[in-house]
C-alpha cells in the first residue's frame, strides 16, 4: 500500500537486542528486505559472527562504560572461574 515506506526497528537494552534479532527475521522476507535497526545499549544476544553480518543495517549506540551491552554468557563463565578460584 505504501511502497516508499521503510521500517526502522528501534530498542533499548533488552529491547535493543530484540530489535536487532527482529531486524534479521524481517529482512528474510522480500517486502521487508530494506528494514534497518537502531539499538541503544543492546543486550549481548547473538554471536559475534551474526553481529558482524549486520553492520550494514544495524546501528548500535553504546556508552563506553555501560555493562549491559558487553555482558555475555562467556563473560559470566570467565567471571565464575575467577571468583571461585
Cβ atoms 16, 39 nearer than 8 A:
yes
Q: Is 13 a catalytic residue?
A: yes
Cβ atoms 60, 69 nearer than 8 A:
yes
Q: What are the distances in angstroms from CA 21 to CA 24, 36, 84? A: 5, 11, 34
Catalytic residue chosen out of the listed positions 4, 34, 53, 66: 66
Q: Which residues are catalytic?
A: 13, 66
Amino acid at each position: 500500500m505504501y511502497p516508499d515506506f521503510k521500517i526502522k526497528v528501534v530498542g533499548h537494552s533488552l529491547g535493543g537486542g530484540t530489535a536487532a534479532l527482529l531486524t534479521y527475521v524481517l529482512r528474510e522476507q522480500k517486502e521487508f528486505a530494506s528494514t534497518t535497526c537502531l539499538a541503544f545499549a543492546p543486550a549481548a544476544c547473538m554471536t559475534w559472527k551474526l553481529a558482524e553480518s549486520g553492520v550494514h543495517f544495524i546501528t548500535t549506540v553504546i556508552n563506553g562504560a555501560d555493562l549491559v551491552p558487553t555482558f555475555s554468557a562467556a563473560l559470566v563463565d570467565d567471571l565464575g572461574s575467577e571468583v571461585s578460584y
